[in-house]
Amino acid sequence: MRKPLIAGNWKLQKTIPEATALAGELKNELADFTGADLLVCPPFIDLGVVGREILGSPIELGAQDIFWEDTGAFTGEVSGPMLKSAGCSYVIVGHSERRGFFGDTDEVVNKKLKAAVRSVLIPILCVGESLEKREQKVTKEFLRKQIGASIQGIGIEWIARIVVAYEPIWAIGTGLSASPRMANKTHRFIRELFAEHYDESIAKNLRILYGGSVKPDNARALIAEEDIDGFLIGGASLKADSFATIARYSVL
């Protein structure tokens, strides 16, 4: 049985006071929540205050990115041991905005994934096709290549820690979410890929989140699908009530 994971990706939003306020509201809304894992991924600068604010609540802390080296002369970067010391248990790796705006190639994503597992952080590996690829009907080929390159050299003992987020790029921040059926079909395909690369048990236990314009009004239908194990939520995670509503729908 895969426990759902409901994760909020705050992206480049929330100053320290704003992040403190949102984390406090989330803690109030979700104090007694059970049945799914809850996660917030604020900007690096907010990790300390958010971590302190959610202490004693069921909400866990994650980062939005990680550097592939643990320490050294790499101005501006943040490493796995640093995230761990800030109280993170998860880290998002390979978000399409990192890939698109900051040049995170599959090779970079692979190195970051390895850095995350080395620091005993749970990576949320983001994958997903562009509108162009979807229209060309090459989504499967694209995902096969993207996932294969991202997980290359990661052994079976480490892969069991990974979470995958399927985020079709055309659905992120656009209000256009994939239909539950379409998303589920792709999730099933991703699960099959993990069975090919590893084994059936890894594939069966792999949590695959859906991301891309998840809102309270579409969350229920999406989570009802067999292979959708939770969400990575951008815009709707910035308001405590919408994040909490989506979390509650995920355990109905």
* Residues classed as catalytic: 95, 167
Q: By the 8 A CB rule, do 6 and 246 touch?
A: yes
Site pattern 5..44 for ligand PGA (x: CB under 6 A): ----x-----------------------------------
Q: 66 or 203: whose CB is closer to ligand PGA?
A: 66
Minimum CB separation of residue 74 from ligand PGA in Å reads 25
Q: 51 or 235: whose CB is closer to ligand PGA?
A: 235
Minimum CB separation of residue 181 from ligand PGA in Å reads 19
* DSSP sequence for 176-204: -PPPHHHHHHHHHHHHHHHHHHS-HHHHH
How large is the C-alpha radius of gyration of the chain? 17
Q: 203 or 225: whose CB is closer to ligand PGA?
A: 225
Q: By the 8 A CB rule, do 41 and 54 touch?
A: no
Amino acid at 162: I
* DSSP sequence for 62-125: EES---SSSSSS-TT---HHHHHHTT--EEEES-HHHHHHH---HHHHHHHHHHHHHTT-EEEE
Residue bearing tokens 């509503």: 245
Residue 233 within binding range of ligand PGA, rule CB under 6 A:
yes
Residue 80 within binding range of ligand PGA, rule CB under 6 A:
no
Residue 167 within binding range of ligand PGA, rule CB under 6 A:
yes
The span from the CA of 118 to the CA of 151, in Å, is 14
Minimum CB separation of residue 38 from ligand PGA in Å reads 15
- Report the SS3 class of residue 24: helix
Instruction: Tell which residue, 62, 11, 63, 60, has the closest CA to residue 38.
Output: 60
Q: 43 or 203: whose CB is closer to ligand PGA?
A: 43
Q: 101 or 137: whose CB is closer to ligand PGA?
A: 101
Residue 172 within binding range of ligand PGA, rule CB under 6 A:
yes
Q: Which of 108, 159, 232, 244 binds ligand PGA (CB under 6 A)?
A: 232
Residue 60 within binding range of ligand PGA, rule CB under 6 A:
no
Which positions touch ligand PGA (CB under 6 A)?
9, 167, 172-173, 211-214, 232-236
